[in-house]
Chain A
């Protein structure tokens, strides 16, 4: 439909993007990289929403709306997360996730 790109390709792309995000989330130690990985996951979902909407229910708009909402919320989430990281850095001079275990005890 979109210039002849088959649905399967889009699905494969979003799946790859999702698991790249998951992999980054699990392996990176830098909190900002982890945040970027989360954004990858969210965007993989967004692509799925939009693609499914366009290919399966072309007359509906809910998928688009969902994608827009997710983008807005992701932006807010990123702002909060970065504020937390800054405070964290001020306190422990590091944004390495393995150092962030103060609440364990």
Chain B
């Protein structure tokens, strides 16, 4: 690396500086200045990221037809012993650059959009400070050179999401949602931490490049040690994946995601498109070499959980009426897709799933950010989240309408929009691995098209708004980011990902399967047509279908009662039985012992405090008496 990459540190420093400045001076700065600081810093970071990407992919990245991983810098931060050192660094390789581009682009647009969306809100400056912190943490996460740095920024992402979801801290539902998000992800992070400790204990390194060098040789000796029928390496990687599943809202740990919609809409866009939820996918992708060579069994679990989450969330999304919740479940579904693609991927020439997963992450960031920002513009205009109260908005919100339509087409996988290409690759990878994954993916593709167009038709078509409606388009500071993202959703699919991002850095030949593409487009069209029949005009068909499904519909509508199950487990079983006993033990035995000791001391001293008369001569009498007694005792023993 001849070219100096020292400037890359500014990509991290600028958003952090914006956070510190806005956070410390939030009371003093005028609103325009605060938002300008955040936006300018993220724009410069974005420009640097684009420059870095350009330099990397055209010049410094390639050596012997392979994209290398370069450490821009790697500074020792904590030095415990010779072998145990924690470093903070900046790793430059294809996936970290791809993530930097995604994070900075989406963040910039979300920041700009927030000027309009958050206008006049209480705590405007605080909001921008937290947004900067969020972007900073996510970028620190993606450029981490080692597991520990990643863990630190991972937790920072958790904290900043907590702060932003609970932005309306005077609203009880927002507070409980932020607590839920934090506790659930934190619970999963426990697994991540255990995984890191296991990996570093046996592998003697935190460093990503060292762990995955020589196809994971450093940790492969862990394969020999087994615990409960699985190798320690598998356990460690499974635990790491648990952390990733928590952040990415994979199946059993997904419950925080719908509630996270309590935050302001730009935050939802940021969480769902660029930061937070893709962190789990990125984590697995970052460790992919180790997964692939060390523990293919864990990779199978990743695929199963991903596929199940995709299906599970897609089914729920079909029944929800809150526009943001539908989008939240669609995110979960798409993240499930990415996880599944990683899970079914092989290495090198079979690495299509990996490329497809990263590709889908990239395109998904654009259209999901667009969907959320569009939803924000709609909510901003009609002041409700319930899609049953919307309808006929296409005349009032022309720009939001067109961009939302583009995003829906993109997520449904209609060519030539971005989602088509990435989804096609994912399905191709799934097909190579096993028909069951392909079947689930195929079904989910149809469901995705159905629920996205259900949303689209119910919001923009269906019944008409009352004539006196004052709904109007959002200010241009909100619509311009929508237009830019719409352009991204159209063109992001044409990026030749197979040439840029692969498992081993070498070019991956991707074929275009006409029959597969036709089949996926076909099912997407079926989904669209069905939702057109159901929702384009006011009709009672959806009601009747829901009725005929009866109990199943209600179960799905209640999200399979997962919140209730968790509540039952935590409230009844953990709080009710274990905690109640522990609380009883603490109050009565532990506290009781301490209180008894205190009470006894107080009682004894109250009895004997009369002896302290304050009369010196009384003390002298006692002293003299003592001396006499001791003297007599000595005298007695000496005389014997």
Contacts and interface: CB of A to CB of B under 8 A. Distances in A.
A22 interface: yes
B615 A97 contact: yes
Interface in B582-638: 612-617, 620-621, 624
Contacts of B621: 26
B615 A101 contact: yes
B617 A26 contact: yes
A85 B615 CA distance: 16
Contact of B615 (A25, A98, A102): A98
B624 A101 contact: no
Interface string A27-49: 10000000000000000000000
A92 interface: no
A22 B620 CA distance: 9
A101 B616 CA distance: 8
Task: State the majority secondary structure of interface residues on A.
Answer: helix
Contacts of A98: 615
B614 A25 contact: no
Given A25-B617, A26-B617, A97-B617, A104 B624 contact: no
Nearest to A101: B614
B613 to A, nearest CB: 7
Interface in A57-105: 97-98, 100-104
Task: State the majority secondary structure of interface residues on B.
Answer: helix
B614 A103 contact: yes
B612 A104 contact: yes
A27 B616 CA distance: 11
B616 A97 contact: yes
Contacts of A100: 614, 616
Contacts of B617: 25-27, 97
A26 B617 CA distance: 5
B146 to A, nearest CB: 63
Q: Which size class do A's interface residues fall under?
A: 10 to 19
B612 A25 contact: no
B613 A101 contact: yes
Interface in B500-522: none
Contacts of B615: 97-98, 101
Contacts of A22: 624
Contacts of A101: 613-615
Interface string B548-574: 000000000000000000000000000
Contacts of A97: 615-617
Contacts of B624: 22, 26
Contacts of B614: 100-104
A104 B620 contact: no
A17 B149 CA distance: 83
A26 B621 CA distance: 7
B123 to A, nearest CB: 53
B131 to A, nearest CB: 60
A4 to B, nearest CB: 32
A102 to B, nearest CB: 8
Contacts of A26: 617, 620-621, 624
Q: Which size class do B's interface residues fall under?
A: under 10
A102 B614 CA distance: 7
Contacts of A25: 617, 620
A98 B624 CA distance: 19
Contacts of A102: 614
Contacts of A104: 612-614
Contacts of B620: 25-26
Nearest to A25: B620
A100 B619 CA distance: 13
A16 to B, nearest CB: 17
A25 B624 CA distance: 11
A26 B612 CA distance: 17
A102 B612 CA distance: 12
A22 B615 CA distance: 16
Contacts of B612: 104
A98 B618 CA distance: 10
A104 B609 CA distance: 10
Nearest to A22: B624
A100 B616 CA distance: 8
A27 B618 CA distance: 10
A104 B612 CA distance: 7
Contacts of A103: 614
Nearest to B621: A26
A102 B616 CA distance: 11
B72 to A, nearest CB: 70
Nearest to B627: A22
Contacts of B616: 97, 100
Nearest to A31: B616
Most chain B CB within a 10 A radius of its CB, from A27, A102, A104: A104
Nearest to A27: B617
A59 to B, nearest CB: 29
Interface in A13-29: 22, 25-27
Nearest to B617: A26
A88 B639 CA distance: 47
Contacts of B613: 101, 104
Most chain B CB within a 10 A radius of its CB, from A97, A98, A102: A98
A104 B611 CA distance: 10
A103 B621 CA distance: 19
Nearest to A29: B617
A97 B621 CA distance: 14
Nearest to B616: A97
Interface string B368-405: 00000000000000000000000000000000000000
A18 B290 CA distance: 92
Nearest to A28: B617
A98 B615 CA distance: 6
A3 B614 CA distance: 48
A65 B624 CA distance: 28
B620 to A, nearest CB: 6
B615 to A, nearest CB: 6
A22 B617 CA distance: 11
A100 B621 CA distance: 17
A80 B200 CA distance: 70
Given A26-B624, A97-B615, 18 more contacts: A22-B624, A25-B617, A25-B620, A26-B617, A26-B620, A26-B621, A27-B617, A97-B616, A97-B617, A98-B615, A100-B614, A100-B616, A101-B613, A101-B614, A101-B615, A102-B614, A103-B614, A104-B614
Interface of B: 612-617, 620-621, 624
Interface of A: 22, 25-27, 97-98, 100-104
13 contacts: A25-B617, A26-B621, A26-B624, A27-B617, A97-B615, A97-B617, A101-B614, A101-B615, A102-B614, A103-B614, A104-B612, A104-B613, A104-B614
Q: Which 3 A-B pairs rank lowest in CB-CB distance, beginning with the nearest?
A: A101-B614, A104-B614, A26-B617
